[in-house]
Amino acid sequence: MIEFSHVSASYDGELAVLRDVSFRIEDGSFVAFVGTNGAGKSTTMRLINGLLKPTEGQVLIDGTPTTELKTSELAQRVGFLFQNPDRQICNNTVREEMMFGFKALGKESPEAEVRADEIMAAFGLNPDDDPFLLNRGTRQLLALASIIVLQPPVVVLDEPTTGLDFRECTKVMEIIRRLHERGTTVVMVCHDMEVVADYAESIIVMSAGRVLAQGPTYELLRDRVLTQEASLVAPQMVALSLALGSQHPQLANTAVGQANTLSEMERALGLEIAEGGEPR
Amino acid sequence: MTGFLEYVPGNSLLHRMNPVAKLFCALLISVACFCTSNLIFLACVLIFDFALAAHCKMTRQAMGLAKAVTIFSLILAVIQLLTNSTGMVLVPLPWGYIGTGGVIGAVTIILRLVAAAVPLFLVMYVTKMTDLANSVVKVLHVPYKYAFTFTSTVHFIPVFMNDMAGIMEAQTARGVQFDQGSIVKKIRLMVPLCIPLLVSSVRKTNSAAIAAEVRGFNLRTRESGYKQYPFATLDVVSLVICVCILVVAILLGVLL
Which amino acid belongs to residue A101?
G
Query: How crowded is residue B63: how many other Cβ atoms within 10 Å of its Cβ?
Result: 13
Q: Is A235 exposed, middle or buried (0-12, 13-18, 19+ CB in 10 A)?
A: buried
Three-state DSSP class for residue B148: helix
pLDDT digits (tens, 9 = 90+) for B174-220: 888 776 777 787 777 777 778 888 888 888 888 888 888 888 888 87
Are B169 and A101 within 8 A, CB to CB? no
Are A51 and B196 within 8 A, CB to CB? no
Q: Which of B166, B173, B192 sits opposite A49 (nearest CB)?
A: B173
Q: Is the pLDDT of residue A276 over 60?
A: no
Q: Choosing among A76, A90, A133, A158, which should be mutated to test the B contact, i.e. which has the most B CBs within 10 A?
A: A90
What's B100's DSSP letter? H
A155-167 average pLDDT score: 88
Q: Which of A75, A80, A86 sits opposite B196 (nearest CB)?
A: A86
Are B167 and A87 within 8 A, CB to CB? yes
Q: Which architecture, in CATH terms, is A2-234?
A: 3-Layer(aba) Sandwich (3.40)
Query: In chain A, what residues touch B195 (CB-CB under 8 Å)?
Result: 90-92, 132
Q: Is the pLDDT of residue A279 over 60?
A: no
Give the pLDDT of residue A273.
57
Give the pLDDT of residue A145.
93
Which chain B residue shows the shortest CA-CA distance from A48? B173
Query: How crowded is residue B164: how many other Cβ atoms within 10 Å of its Cβ?
Result: 17
Q: Is the pLDDT of residue B155 over 60?
A: yes
Chain B contact present for A146, CB below 8 A: yes
List the Cα angle A112/A114/A118 in 5-degree steps.
115
Return the closest-CA partner of residue A210 out of A3, A43, A61, A31.
Answer: A43
Give the pLDDT of residue A277.
56
On whether ipTM exceeds 0.90, the answer is: no
* Banded model confidence at residue A143, pLDDT cuts 50, 70, 90: very high
Q: CATH 3.40.50.300 in chain A, residues?
A: 2-234
The Cα–Cα gap between A237 and A197 comes to: 9
Q: Is the pLDDT of residue A12 over 80?
A: no
Are B192 and A90 within 8 A, CB to CB? yes
Chain B closest-CA separation from residue A81 CA (Å): 8
Which amino acid belongs to residue B145?
K
Q: Which of A159-168, A256-265, B10-19, B56-65 has the lowest mean pLDDT?
A: A256-265
Q: Choosing among B167, B169, B174, B195, which should be mutated to test the A contact, i.e. which has the most A CBs within 10 A?
A: B174
Q: What share of chain A is helix, strand, coil (3-state, %, to 5)?
A: 45, 20, 35
* Banded model confidence at residue B239, pLDDT cuts 50, 70, 90: very high
Give the pLDDT of residue A226.
92
Three-state DSSP class for residue B135: helix
- Tally A–B CB contacts below 8 A: 68
Domain ranges, ordered by start, for chain B: 1-129+230-256, 142-221
Are B171 and A146 within 8 A, CB to CB? no
Give the pLDDT of residue A272.
58
The Cα–Cα gap between B168 and B161 comes to: 11
Share of chain B above pLDDT 70, in %: 98
Please state, in angstroms and as integers, the Cα–Cα distance from residue B197 to each residue in A122, B11, B176, B201, following that order: 29, 37, 17, 6
Q: Choosing among A70, A82, A86, A146, which should be mutated to test the B contact, i.e. which has the most B CBs within 10 A?
A: A86
The Cα–Cα gap between B47 and B25 comes to: 16
pLDDT digits (tens, 9 = 90+) for A14-67: 778 899 999 999 999 999 999 998 899 999 999 998 888 899 999 999 999 998
Q: Is the pLDDT of residue B112 over 90?
A: yes
Are B170 and A104 within 8 A, CB to CB? no
Return the closest-CA partner of residue A42 out of A68, A8, A17, A79.
Answer: A17
Give the pLDDT of residue A179.
92
List the Cα angle A7/A12/A17 in 5-degree steps.
40
* Structural contact between residues B36 and B252, judged by C-beta atoms closer than 8 angstroms: yes
Chain A closest-CA separation from residue B152 CA (Å): 22
A57: left (phi over 0), alpha (psi -120 to 50) or beta: left
Chain B closest-CA separation from residue A132 CA (Å): 8
Q: Which of A128-142, B72-86, B180-194 has the lowest mean pLDDT?
A: B180-194
